[in-house]
Structure 1
Amino acid sequence: MSSNSTPYYYVPGLSSHPASAALGLLAFAAGMSGWVNHAAWGGPVTAVGVLWVIFVLYNWFGDTIAESNSGKNGINVDISYRWSMAWFIFSEIMFFGAFFAALFYARNITMPWMGDVESKLLWPDFQAVWPNDGPAGLVEKFTTMGPWPIPTINTLLLLSSGVTVTYAHHAIRENHMKKAINGLAATVFLGIIFLGFQVYEYVHAYSDLNLKLTSGIYGSTFFMLTGFHGFHVFLGGLMLTIVLRRMIRGDFTAENHFAFEGAAWYWHFVDVVWLGLYIAVYWM
């Protein structure tokens, strides 16, 4: 479709995708409610809901990609996509901000308060030092996770992946598709290595350090922050993998490649969150 025939703002026709996704999410919510209450049907219904949502998203995204490839998306749709991705990343910033705030509150506000003179009457043996296993002695002894070697290696991996995805971005803008493919493939590969090291770190924490999600406020904040970040690395890597497939297929041009840009924005966000996490969790 020529640029002259591209609509001012393409509006797709009626679609069953939203209703289908809602049914899948309903099944997921019902299954989870049954699962946490130890109902036998909870796990299977949850799995069906997840698989159904994935199936719907695959077809929904496929329709959207087909619309883009056929030239139906003009400049206004492109602007809409950019704003949508920006607000999505902003919501993710708020998400991680809540967990960083919880860590700050526990370490810099609650712990000094519990260690003051008045609180000594209630918890005479409590030591207001971080990390802490609480005043009641209910938490098993554990060893904290230091910054070396795996967290530091993972930091280098993510920083390197930021360089490779930027290299790919410059290459695609200059219409050097082979270089862009190589740079993006390297980014995905570095992300996979990062996740592999994180899995090893978790195994080491549970088996060797006795550090678990139940290890007091330190264990809960450690696993919530690093775990959710790892999940976001997985999502970002999945986005980049899909974009890589589309790039190899020839869907992008030097002028039209926002799917790549949106995934790259998300990947840079993941990198920045890790830097804050690396300092606040492993060093402080």
Structure 2
Amino acid sequence: MADAHAKPQHDYHIIDPSPWPFLGSIGALIMAIGGVAWMQYLKGGDFPIFGVNIANPWLFFIGLAVVLYTMFGWWSDTIKEAHEGHHTRVVSLHLRYGMIMFIASEVMFFVAWFWAFFDASLFPGEAAQVARTEYTGGVWPPQGIEVLDPFHLPLYNTVILLLSGTTVTWAHHALLHDDRKGLVNGLILTVALGVLFSMVQAYEYMHAPFSFSDSIYGATFFMATGFHGFHVLVGTIFLLVCLLRAMRGDFTPQQHFGFEAAAWYWHFVDVVWLFLFASIYVWGSMGGTIAHGH
């Protein structure tokens, strides 16, 4: 009878009391307040709370450290639960639903940046009136703006991401067929391609003929491509963790949601880049002056 009470007779997993939601919320609050304090510090202002001026960057990094620690601890607990057999088919399905909803929220996040870009590019006259800092000449790209050659570094990065999508799919199929060597090799190549993409984009940013603050073109360009670059960085770390876990033997052909979620996220990053390349780099630069050497 005691054994019957100890083992639940259903497919759901009632988790033990966890500190992570509360700790993560506290970390996020500290990071948000710290972000405001950092911005005040950068512009030379004050940010007093209870009579204490906290205008400095350190509060932000304290909050970030708490959030990162929460992520590590929470996901470690999730992995432990999977190893203990708590991730039944129903629980695994709900984990997938959660990842799908997360990616859907990310889609809407990028919709906002595409909206801002197309609003400015399709109505350049109105954009100039709103910005009050430039004269677009009623054209896009704005007058006086030199643009990047879309078929130079941007095309190179497009090929890199498409190749990385192929290698992560190879790794997934290798895992399904219990090919541990193929899984590890595919992940190594994917992580390497992700790092290469970030390096190329950093080089492109350093040599861009326009800046974030000199025009609405630069603002919309860097916000959209910059946030995508951040997602590539996060996805690369995600896949690197999966690589370390794969080398440790964590994943099985039957149970590998952690890797599957990383692969979904990486494919999402790939697709967003294709839209960025086609709209911002190619279409958005039509009629503009290509910067020499870019």
TM beyond 0.5: yes
In the alignment, which residue of structure 2 is the partner of 1:188? 191
Alignment of 1:203-218 (within 5 A): 203-205=206-208, 209=209, 211-218=210-217
Q: Partner of 1:37: helix, strand, or coil?
A: helix
Shift of 1:41: 4.3
1:282 Cα deviation after fit: 1.1
Distance 1:176 1:276 in 2: 34
> 1:19 maps to what in 2?
22
Counterparts of 2:9 and 2:259, CA distance in 1:
21
- Aligned partners of 1:131, 1:107: CA distance in 2, in Å? 7
Residue in structure 2 matching 1:70, options 56, 79, 84: 84
Could you say which residue in structure 1 is the equivalent of 2:142?
Answer: 132
Once the two structures are TM-superposed, the CA of residue 193 in structure 1 deviates from its matched residue by 0.2
In 2, the alpha carbon distance for the partners of 1:220 and 1:6 equals 56
TM alignment of 1:118-129, pairs within 5 A: 127-129=137-139
Structure 1 residue identity aligned to 2:101: W
Given candidates 161, 169, 173, the residue that maps to 1:170 is 173
Return the alpha-carbon distance in structure 1 between the equivalents of residues 165 and 118 of structure 2: 27
Equivalent-residue separation in structure 2 for 1:267 and 1:16 (angstroms) = 29
Instruction: Tell me which residue corresponds to 2:290.
Output: none
Residues 136 and 142 in structure 2, CA contact (< 8 A), matched pair in contact too: no
> What is the alpha-carbon distance in structure 1 between the residues aligned to residue 103 and residue 281 of structure 2?
24
- Give the structure 2 partner of residue 111 of structure 1: 124
**Residues paired across the two proteins, number:** 261
> Which residue in the other structure is 1:82 paired with?
96
Per the alignment, residue 245 of structure 1 pairs with 244
Q: CA–CA distance in 2 between the matches of 1:277 and 1:126?
A: 22
CA distance in 2, matches of 1:272, 1:126: 30
Equivalent position amino acid for 1:189 in 2? A
Alpha-carbon distance, 1:235 to partner: 0.9
CA deviation map 1:233-263 (0-9, x unaligned): 0111111111111111111111111111111
Q: CA deviation at 1:33?
A: 2.1
Q: 1:64 is matched by which residue type in structure 2?
A: T
**2-structure distance, mates of 1:263, 1:113:** 41
Quote the Cα distance in structure 1 between the aligned partners of 2:232 and 2:202: 13
Alignment correspondent of 2:64 = 50
In the alignment, what sits opposite 2:163?
Answer: 160
What letter is aligned with 1:240? L
Match of 2:274 in 1: 275
C-alpha change, 1:14 and 1:213, in structure 2 (3 Å) is same
Instruction: Look up the SS of the partner of 1:72 in the other structure.
Output: coil
Structure 1 residue runs of 5 or longer lacking an equivalent are 120-124, 134-140
Per-residue deviation, 1:129: 1.5
In 2, Cα distance between the equivalents of 1:154 and 1:214? 25
1:147 pairs with one of 147, 150, 155: 150
Equivalents in 2 of 1:158, 1:7: separation in Å?
42
Q: Which runs of 5+ in 2 are unaligned?
A: 1-6, 47-53, 130-134, 284-294
Q: Partner amino acid for 2:274?
A: L
For residue 42 of structure 1, report the CA deviation from its aligned partner. Answer: 3.0
Matched, 1:37 2:32: no
**Counterparts in 2 of 1:201 and 1:53: CA distance versus 1, 3 Å:** same
The aligned amino acid for 1:197 is V
Cα distance change on mapping 1:171 and 1:162 into 2, 3 Å: same
User: 1:128 is aligned with what amino acid?
Assistant: G
- State the AA in 1 paired with 2:115: A
Question: Aligned-pair distance for 1:112?
Answer: 5.7
Match of 2:74 among 55, 60, 84: 60
Q: Measure, in 1, the Cα distance between the counterparts of 2:261 and 2:97.
A: 10
Sequence identity (%): 41
Per-residue deviation, 1:180 = 1.0
Deviations 1:49-81 (A, max 9, x none): 101111121111111111111211101110001
User: TM-score of the superposition, structure 2-length normalised?
Assistant: 0.84
**TM value normalised by structure 1:** 0.87
One-letter amino acid of the structure 1 residue matched with residue 224 of structure 2: L
